[in-house]
Structure 1
Amino acid sequence: MYEVLLLLHNLLRWFVLLFGLWALLRPEPRPGAFFAHALTLQVVLGLLLAFVSPLFQGALAALGEVMRAGGEPRYFVAEHWVGGLLALGLAHAGLARARKGQGARLLFALSLLVLLLSIPWFRPLLRL
């Protein structure tokens, strides 16, 4: 189950980024909805992945040591998911503004920026 969730989470990343670019270029309700809802699915998959991930569970068990040591375990325990949740909030705020006909481009841009900073680029770009 872990490998399947990891594969889905990895592949969905590319759709989220494409939808984010679409929402940034056309800050309207439809592109914004695709972006916000794909990102919601991405976060849900990430949360499920955290429950079954041996890396995450092992890091939680030794949280103090992980935070002091840094590296990959700290990244996933402390930074990766926080960035995802922040980006999710910004994307949904952008969607709400787009539905009201107000300027949503800045919120979509901030969400995309946080996402780009939260992606583990040191990991394989495609896991097949």
Structure 2
Amino acid sequence: MKYQLIMVMALLSGCATSASPTFDRGNYFMTGDASCVTYQAHVSRTHIVCRNAQGQPTERREAMTPQQMQMYAYQQQAAQAQQQQQAAAYSYQPMPMVQYPQMVTPQVAPLTLGSGNQVRCISTGIYTNCR
């Protein structure tokens, strides 16, 4: 039993990146990896013969057990959760708004007119001085 579980884990972990269960004649078979690009389904109800990309027979595979299907589903969920965590780690995080101190308007001395009602202003560049 332990040996079978190790073999199933090795099979699923080796195929997890490109292989997936294929439903055929009431059973699921792990297909789609390099050694099982296509398969011959009429061997028996619970067995298939896998073929590589050149069409050569490579191996005979048994139908997946419910435990194997459950393990495959668990691995897919774990991989999806890991991808979501990685995506969340790299998602956009806006910078907090920088709070600048409020600018206080400087107080200006009131304009008092001396003798007469004349105001004389001298401007140099952006500065203006009035008397």
What TM-score do the two structures reach when normalised by structure 2?
0.29
- Asked which structure has the greater RCO (Cα within 8 Å, sep 6+), the reply is 1
Higher strand share: 2
Structure whose CA Rg is larger? 2
